[in-house]
Amino acid sequence: MRTKRIIFMVTLLWGVFSFMNLSPLHSQTCNICGTDSTDYQSDACTVLLIGKKASTDGSVMSTHTCDCGVCDWTWRSVPAADHEEGAMRRIYYIPQFITKPPAKGLRWDTLEDKYSGLEIPQIKHTFGYLHGMFGYMNDNQVAIGESTIGCRREMNNHTPTPKFDITTLTLIAMERGKTARDAIRIIGSLAEKYGYGNTDSGEMLAISDPNEIWLFEIMPVGPLWTPETGQPGAIWCAQRVPDDEVSICANESRIGEIDLSNKDYFMASPNVKSYAMEHGYYDAKSGKPFSWKRAYSPNEVSAKSSNGSRGRMWRFYDLVAPSKKFLIDTPNMDFPFSIKPEKKLSVSDVIHILRDHYDGTEIDAAKGIQGGPFKNPNHLPYGFKLNGKRYNTPRCIGVNRAEYITVTQCRDWLPNPVGGIVWIGLGAQDTDCFMPFYEGVRKIPKSFEFGDHWEFDRKSARWAFDYVDFHTQVVYSHAIKDVRKAQEKWEGGAIKRTPEIDAHAMKLYKKSPELARDYLTDYCNNNANLVLDAWWKLGDFLLVKYNHLWEYEVKTRKRKALEYPQWWLEELVKYNNLKPVQEKK
């Protein structure tokens, strides 16, 4: 009895600390710990969801912009495995927002100090998969993208009691999921039984397979939950995106009214409504329909009211359905869950959207003084404080603090090793280059497996893209043209080659699936290594070409001054009170 009392008191204290934002674990989490926060710029991760009839080639697509800014960017390819009868699977806490110094070892090889104390029965066969901070695609073309959405502050459970965080749940889904629905059930049941939270708050996952894509949301159930309560240790809901429609999650809960009788479009935990009623988030007697997002993660804000820091949802719908003329001051919670795009989207279209900076709109991130003379959309990405007041700045779909970006394609007309593709762009999507990795690859380049923000390393793939990005930021409007040319050659070339690669892989697959896997492994790794070499050379080229804020023409060996826009020169004259040079008489 004394032991139980001690455990209860420890759990209670952790809960109090969590509620007061004093938990040591809480300091490692994203700043979205409640929807009442006005620090919108701390949000991270954008996910696009595209149904198979909304894409040009019939593939189901999802994206993930992993834009923490200080997080781990390493990748791994995990092979399929068989396990002995009675084997157990250890569960680890894997905080999203921690990067270990490379000298201490690779992140994924040093998890023992994060052991949660839980082991669950291992299954006989686990599937192979690709993963970065989360699991992204497995042997069955089950794919995932992630976005933090927050929840009501009192729902957070930053204690050691819940044994699962979102990263670990995605890895288990990769190991065991055969379909998107299967992955949802696996994640939901584990979170209900063993508890969800620890370092994570409300989270969203895009979960897809070659046939469909679902938007899944999960939240903790408060710091006082224990398995002994007999209640679910998490609350979750999932809604399917219609095949001919697209959707977005930009750090905001997206699921509204739900119809659990429509099992082809909705799934949820057993406490999906009861928890809201018990805690006063929803009054069943009000006559109003139950809305998941309004109950658990209400957020009344718009692109206009937030000065663009919450503009990604409006911008996405504006881009895919321009004739509907969605108003920029439309409350984000009033946007439809999904929409039919006015034209079907290709991989190139999706990548173009991922690089958007609200170009040409009233919240254009490069507009005026903020963009400077070289129209740089990446200045002040988190807003700023001045004279004790907080000012928001546009937070774009294309953001300069990304660890990496993924575009997943699940294609039902091809066998899994050939059908699934994860396009990976390392670093900011503006200056990166998306590289294809087919689901059937046996390995990825070693250079993807290590590196961090605080130690420059030419052996780390990510640094090649940061190297180009750094030299681009200084004279953005000029240098970005050179970057776009390189992207068209390498990224555009890979996209155009896809049908050819598919066809050759299929010829080999018919002879032997293993031959196809060997071919795809060689192709993807060779392509990635060529891109890395090209990006290191591109960085060197930009350094020379724009050295000292001049433009050095390599071929002619001449130098000329960079052009500055007239409006900026006029502002300079006005602000510095400059006087024109007197003409000689």
**499-556 pLDDT, tens digit each:** 999 999 999 999 999 999 999 999 999 999 999 999 999 999 999 999 999 999 989 9
Residue pointed to by tokens 């999960």: 218
**What is residue 43's predicted lDDT score, i.e. its pLDDT?**
56
Residues 149/143, Cβ–Cβ less than 8 Å: no
Confirm if 231 and 162 have CB atoms less than 8 A apart: no
* Range with the poorest average pLDDT among 5-9, 46-50, 492-496: 5-9
Phi and psi dihedrals of 505, rounded to 5? -65, -35
Are 143 and 209 in contact by the 8 Å Cβ rule? The answer is yes
Query: What does the longest C-alpha to C-alpha distance in the chain come to?
Result: 101
Q: What are the b/e assignments for 48-65, b being 16+ CB within 10 Å?
A: bbbbbebbeebbbbbbbb
**414-444 per-position pLDDT tens digit:** 999 999 999 999 999 999 999 999 999 999 9
State the amino acid at position 394 in one-letter form.
P
Closest by CA position to 172, among listed 52, 286, 89: 89
Q: Which two tokens stand for residue 475?
A: 């004279």
Q: Could you tell me which residues come within 8 angstroms of residue 499 by beta carbon, excluding any fewer than 6 positions away? A: none
Using 50, 70 and 90 to split pLDDT, how confident is the model at 33? Answer: very low
DSSP code, position 180? H
Between 6-10, 106-110, 466-470, the lowest mean confidence (pLDDT) is in 6-10
Dist CA 225 CA 14 (whole Å) = 11
What percentage of residues in the chain have a pLDDT greater than 70?
Answer: 93
CA distance 343 to 340: 8
pLDDT of residue 28: 33
Structure tokens at 556: 């002619």
Tell me the residue ranges of DSSP E strands in 163-317: 203-208, 213-219, 235-241, 246-249, 266-268
Q: Which two tokens stand for residue 453?
A: 């923000």
For the segment 561-577, what is each residue's pLDDT rounded down to a tens digit?
Answer: 999 999 999 999 999 99
Residues 6+ apart with CB under 8 A from 261: none
How many of the other CB atoms lie within 10 Å of CB of 106? 15
- Percentage of residues of the chain with pLDDT beyond 90: 86
**Contact indicator for 206, 215 with CB cutoff of 8 Å:** yes
For the chain, report the end-to-end CA distance as a whole number of angstroms: 101
Q: Are 132 and 146 in contact (CB under 8 A)?
A: no
Question: Domain residue spans in the chain?
Answer: 2-391, 414-560
Q: What is the pLDDT of residue 98?
A: 78
Residues 6+ apart with CB under 8 A from 541: 482, 554
